[in-house]
Structure 1
Amino acid sequence: MNFNHKIIWITGASSGIGKSLAFALSKEHTKLILSSRNEAQLNAVKNACEHPENVNILPLDLEDYINLPSKVEEALSLYGAVDILFNNGGISQRSFVKDTSIAVDKRLMDVNYLGTVALSKALLPHFIEKNSGHFVVITSIVGKIGTPLRSSYAASKHALHGFFDSLRAEVYDRNIKVTLACPGFVQTNISINALTGNGTAQNKLDTAIKNGLTPEAFVEKLLKAVRQKKQEVYIGGFKEKLAVYVKRFFPKLLSKMIRKFAVT
């Protein structure tokens, strides 16, 4: 796949992976739509892109999933079409199950799962009408493997795999592609913004995140996978990727390994 002249929509575009995606794709002469809750940061990202004249911002809140269909209408009015949607927006969690309020569980599902699903479902008729499109969903290695302090986050990411695997099977004959990308540890603010058991932000950078891939390195591998139209890709360090295959073939061994993992 060549990204040139593609119309690409990125959620979670104000920082981290989404910001790096915007920078990388702007160099490929695309037309971009950047979304997140923070309009000021979106404007800063736009102005730092190589071709800001080909970038529009569209603030939205994934948690307000009931109103996302109107955001799709706005997005389509900007360029007349969308070719690729990068579902990148979301939040994480750092708390034990016993300490996590049900309100936190609900918020994780509202933002990570229902927000992403609602936006994708609202855009799907457009993809069907033009008989082409590509959903790229940033999930997590934790979307394949549940680990301590990530119960609600893992649940929301596991749910995305179930939904988009089903969608892929339903639209295969419509020339609509689905790529599920599972990051390991990437140097973003995800752990700083992660919710604790009472819903407040952790406000601390995890050591594993600090030592993870740079967003630029992650994006390079991600775009390669999207070009190849891969169905699923794991992008991270050796241990994170190894864990996926250990779970597949030696699940009891992985259970023992996870108990010994550092939880932050």
Structure 2
Amino acid sequence: MTDLAGKTIWITGASSGIGEAMAVLASRQGVKLVLSARRVDELERVRAACADPAKVAVLPLDLTQFDAEAARAAAEACFGPIDVLVNNAGISQRSLMLDTSMDVYRRIMELDFFATVALTKAVVPGMRARGGGHVVVISSVVGKMGTPLRTGYAAAKHALHGFFESARAELWRDQVRFTLVCPGFIRTEVSRNAITGDGGRHDRMDDAQAKGMDAQTCAARIWAGVARNAEELYVGREQAAIYLKRWAPALVSALVKRAKVT
């Protein structure tokens, strides 16, 4: 079991949505938090909302252009070694494959996959040397199954599963835990911030997103999964499709082709 009390937790993408909700909820358990994102003003707002702002550090970070080792050193300078790393930062997509430029695909992979891998590789050696730690990776239901308008996003999330399942198999003896989280539609700004085929901003709240689970409930379920060392965690009613795909893949394929995913 991973007990959060007294731990130092680093959360990326902490300025809104799931990252913000995870930070506020964890702060009530006596942890020390390092919050990263690009928007300093929003990070400060989240910091003020935490139970003990004195135990929360703001570390601005642009994961599209950063040095992972320098970022790790800066994070550890706040409260000491990182016990739990939450890789939450990322960007979604709203565009058809034929309308999406290769630059957009590279941008999605850089943020959603390579940045997560780089931060993890920077932090895990210290965890291993200290006898353990926990890495939380916010994937998606589309990390298990592709849907329309998400070719690049689904590819990046699928890549995360391959990487971290392999990493788990390599590091379990060192007590380094990995939890892959697959949320469905969560009521956040992810659809507004999603990029289109030419790299522009989607800039609207999708109906499915607006009707999704609230971020606070999602965060509570994630932390509960981390506490019990869950290797993979499904959150939201959309998780039913993951189980159904296992037993009736043709049916799920037919449903996904007709699904309204915006």
TM-score of the superposition, structure 1-length normalised?
Answer: 0.97
CA distance in 1, matches of 2:80, 2:217: 32
Which letter maps to 2:219?
Answer: V
- Does residue 55 of structure 2 align to residue 57 of structure 1? no
**Residue matched to 1:195:** 195
- Using the TM superposition, give the Cα deviation of residue 38 of structure 1 relative to its aligned residue in structure 2, in angstroms: 0.9
**Residue matched to 1:6:** 7
- SS of 1:42's partner is helix
Deviations 1:76-135 (A, max 9, x none): 122221100011000000000000000100000000000000000011111111011000
CA distance in 1, matches of 2:142, 2:82: 29
- Using the TM superposition, give the Cα deviation of residue 61 of structure 1 relative to its aligned residue in structure 2, in angstroms: 1.3
- Using the TM superposition, give the Cα deviation of residue 263 of structure 1 relative to its aligned residue in structure 2, in angstroms: 3.1
- Does residue 258 of structure 2 align to residue 263 of structure 1? no
Moved more, 111-120 or 248-257: 248-257
CA distance in 1, matches of 2:168, 2:148: 30
Q: How does 1:1-264 map to 2 (within 5 A)?
A: 1-65=2-66, 67-237=67-237, 240-264=238-262
Runs of at least 4 residues of structure 1 off by over 3 A? Answer: none
Which letter maps to 1:53?
Answer: A
Deviations 1:181-217 (A, max 9, x none): 0000000000000000000000010100000000001
What fraction of aligned residue pairs are identical, expressed as a percent?
44
CA distance in 2, matches of 1:165, 1:64: 26
CA distance in 1, matches of 2:127, 2:6: 17
CA distance in 1, matches of 2:96, 2:139: 21
TM-score of the superposition, structure 2-length normalised?
Answer: 0.98
CA distance in 1, matches of 2:43, 2:219: 18
Query: Which one scores higher on RCO, CA 8 angstroms, separation ≥ 6?
Result: 2
- Using the TM superposition, give the Cα deviation of residue 72 of structure 1 relative to its aligned residue in structure 2, in angstroms: 0.3
Which structure 1 residue ranges, 5 or more long, are not aligned?
A: none
- Using the TM superposition, give the Cα deviation of residue 29 of structure 1 relative to its aligned residue in structure 2, in angstroms: 0.7
Which letter maps to 2:251?
Answer: L
Which structure 2 residue ranges, 5 or more long, are not aligned?
A: none
CA distance in 1, matches of 2:25, 2:91: 23
Q: What is the root-mean-square deviation of aligned Cα atoms in Å? A: 0.8
Aligned residue pair count: 261
